[in-house]
Structure 1
Amino acid sequence: MFNLDHKFLFVGLFLLFLTTSVYAKKGEYIPSAVGTMSNHPTIDGGVYHPVKNGKTGPYKINEKTLKGGYKFGRKPTSNELKAWDTDIMADGTGLPEGSGTVEDGEELYEAQCVSCHGDFGSGGGGYPALSKGSGYNMQKTLKNQRNRPDADGPVRVFGSYWPQASTLWWYIRDGMPHTRSKTLKDDEVYALVAYILNINEIKIDGKLVDDEYELTREKFLKIKMPNVDGFEPKIDGKGSLERVRKYYKNPKNFGAIKVAYAKRCMKNCQKKSAKIVRVRNGGIKDFHPPLSNKKDKPALAKDKLNVKKVYDESCAMCHANDSMQAPVAGKKSDWQAKMKNGGIKGVYKRGIKGLNVMPPKGGTTLSDDEFKKVVDYMINLK
């Protein structure tokens, strides 16, 4: 949410980093004991140096900058502020009325999301997974430690890790799909959220979000994510800032030694009793396949290129429509225009080397010949 106090916060932070001492007699620099910022204790014990006689420490400062106001631009209008204030809060603030079914959400997902986020939200192509099974079961893995070579680490996906579902609703509405953000209707967003809750096996008010489930605003506000209490300190609700300050004021809350609050702890801050867990046997001992110094070239595999799969996973995001200003797959006129510069060989060459925002070979690891087959597929797509 847009905050008009950012300018004042910037001034405070500027003073905090500008100096680490105040001027004293005989050129000595004595650290200030002030441990407050805007009349509140600083969270980390950092020092805020007050302005005195036009100086902060040994440095002069333009005191006019401390009076606030606008140096550039103008005050935003109420309509401009309203346009920027688009966040969806966990308590339902900003969440519009609407509804959507899991069935509709699955159709939308298959049409607009699967190329990046994979089947059933499994992830792929560098884009994050949205599900790895039951969110409740996966939440139990968050404390897993990789203290053995074969140990399973924590699974951090929407269902297991995110504390609030409101973030998902907000992000989908404002940022998805990647090539056409803010084009989804509110009911479509509800449908997609319902589907993602479904593949994470989330329950709402004790009822599983099954294939027949319809998500409404009223039901959405009853969602309690498996990891809602998984973060410290608690930052939700009224008085959260004071709770955060109180939390960090007591080093026992995060395993540190009790030190003077107004001083930073720069060494020996961890409890001596902290248990250090090391990887057993010095690390990995078994390699599959076994280590070898042979330099033989691998045997050439037979052509198993799945052209359609490559297109769906690596090309469709930009070439399925004209939103990215790239030639549309199957649209002959687009490709004929590109062939005016060097013919089909020119198209191959530019695609292999990369052009504008397109990486070489579309970011794939295809050989030149394989890449040419994918281009041919796009040109002749029906």
Structure 2
Amino acid sequence: MFMLDHKKIISTAMIASAIFFGTAHAGEQAIDGGAIYKVKDGMYTSYAVNTQDKKDFKYGKVPSKTEIAAWDIDVMPDGTGLPEGKGSVERGDELYEVKCGMCHGDFGSGGQGSRSTYPTLSVGSASTETLTNQRNVPDADGPKRAIGTYWPQASTLFWYIQSGMPFPHPKSLSNDDTYALVAYILSINEIEIDGETLDDEYVLDREKFLKIKMPNVDGFIPNIDGPEGPANVKKFLNDPKNYGNGTRCMKDCIDPKVNIVRIKVEINAFEPPMSVERTMKEEKVTGKVHPGQKLYEASCSVCHATDAMGAPNLGNKDAWASVLEKGIDKVYANGINGINAMPPKGGAIDLTEAQFKSAVDYMIKNSK
């Protein structure tokens, strides 16, 4: 499914390395079965190459061990980088409701309405709803890529949650909270660990985490993991049967029996209309623009543009009237310091207090 992308990425990297360093031996085999030639007289075969010395970097400095460690936060499938900690499914359920559900929907069902772009985390039993099974029993919606049906390793789940979630306040979860959320997400995907069902009382820790086997762990070809990864890729790509019939075709290559689906209803109502014009039309500004409008659009609208997030949405008079009952100073303070599921300044910590108050004033002014 992904072999052509892998081929492009890996073979390009191999050839680029040969050109960059000029050390490859003539005829050395590339990972896709092609040949790598030595750069000679400023030429790589028929292509001119910049032969200036690029080995020594002229800018920056060598990072310290501490600086490298600060960025080295990934969690590998073998447990490298996985911290100690523990968390129950029940605790994960509570955290999910407060920090995740407003975007990813109840039980990981996906965002709704204006939040529909947020991904679905579960489509039911991961074991029975794998992509392979979905293709064998096609329906109008087609296969669904969710964590349980698609992801080959649970380590990515832990790493991504702890380093990038919740939006817009990443890196705010403890190790225990992350374990709890991983346990909950695995439970709604009906994934078992070492034959054990993940009920509310189930507690996930590092030892149990290393026993997780995702249903789609063998669903990717070729296998690029581990020290044998490059050899596996080379072997796979050297066999044309894996991505074609082994015979080159230059014309009339589509079997006439193939059912080609044509577009029956064209979409013409584009806003702005489709054009080859590469410049954006200047927006006409009518009237005075509130200084907090752009701040709101850039930093606040993701939660306050709709009531789906649980926050008072722009234009909702009743919701904002209720908020303002505590007084404007209290509203400012709660927003700046954070309250309930809202992080300090809504996660836009780069805003000054004056800028944040201006965005709040804009929302209040447009909700009366």
State the TM-score bracket (shorter-chain normalisation).
0.5 to 0.7
1:12/1:37 contact within 8 Å kept: no
Structure 2 equivalent of residue 41 of structure 1: 29
More divergent stretch after superposition (74-83 vs 136-145): 136-145
Superposed CA deviations along residues 260-312 of structure 1, whole A, max 9, x for unmatched, are xxxxx784798x88983556xx8999xxxxxxxxxxxxxxxxxxxxxx99424
- Asked if structure 2 preserves the Cα contact closer than 8 Å seen for 1:16 and 1:47, the reply is no
| Alignment correspondent of 1:133 | 124
* Other-structure match for 1:300: none
Which residue matches 1:50? 38
* 8 Å contact kept, 1:169–1:189: yes
Q: What are the superposed Cα offsets for residues 25-72 of structure 1, whole Å, 9 maximum, x if unpaired? A: xxxxxxxxxxx7998532345564532123334665443435x22232
Match of 2:60 among 73, 76, 83: 73
| Count of paired positions | 282
For residue 100 of structure 1, give the secondary structure of its aligned residue in structure 2: strand
What is the aligned partner in structure 2 of residue 156 from structure 1?
145
Change (3 A) 1:335 1:311: farther
Say which SS state the counterpart of residue 203 (structure 1) adopts: coil
3-state SS of the aligned residue for 2:129? Answer: helix
TM-score (norm 1): 0.62
Aligned pairs for 1:361-376 within 5 A: 372=367
1:63 aligned partner, one-letter code: T
Secondary structure (helix, strand or coil) at the match of 1:183 reads: coil
Question: In structure 1, what residue type is equivalent to 2:346?
Answer: S
**What does residue 249 of structure 1 align with?**
238
Aligned to 2:102: 115
1 CA distance for matches of 2:305 and 2:188? 23
- Show the counterpart of 1:13: 16
* 1:276 matched to 2:279: no
What's the Cα RMSD here? 4.1
Matches of 1:117 and 1:106, distance apart in 2: 13
Pick from 191, 198, 201 the counterpart of residue 209 of structure 1: 198
Cα distance between partner residues in 1 of 2:14 and 2:133: 42
Look up the match of 2:307. 311
Structure 2 CA distance for aligned equivalents of residues 252 and 233 of structure 1: 13
Give the 3 Å change call, closer, same or farther, for CA 242–123 of structure 1 in structure 2: same
Deviations 1:79-109 (A, max 9, x none): 2222222111111111111110000000100
Once the two structures are superposed, residues 105-129 of structure 1 have per-residue CA deviations (whole angstroms, 9 ceiling, x without a partner) of 0010011001100000001111001
Match of 1:143 among 120, 131, 135: 135
8 Å Cα contact 1:144/1:153 also seen in 2: no
1:183 maps to what in 2? 172
The answer to whether residue 70 in structure 2 is matched with residue 83 in structure 1 is yes
- Contact 1:130–1:157, Cα closer than 8 Å, also in 2: yes
Give yes or no for the alignment of 1:99 onto 2:122: no
Asked if 1 retains the 8 angstrom alpha-carbon contact of 2:33 and 2:237, the reply is no
Change (3 A) 1:208 1:317: farther
8 Å contact from structure 2 (residues 27, 36) kept in 1 = no
- Identical columns (%): 45
Q: 1:87·1:170 contact (CA, 8 Å) conserved in 2?
A: yes
Deviation at 1:219, TM superposition (A): 0.6
- For residues 189 and 251 of structure 2, the distance between their equivalents in structure 1, rounded to whole angstroms, comes to 42
Match of 2:181 in 1: 192
Q: Is the contact between residue 224 and residue 230 of structure 2 (CA under 8 Å) also seen in structure 1?
A: yes
Amino acid aligned to 2:239 = N
Letter matched to residue 110 of structure 1: E
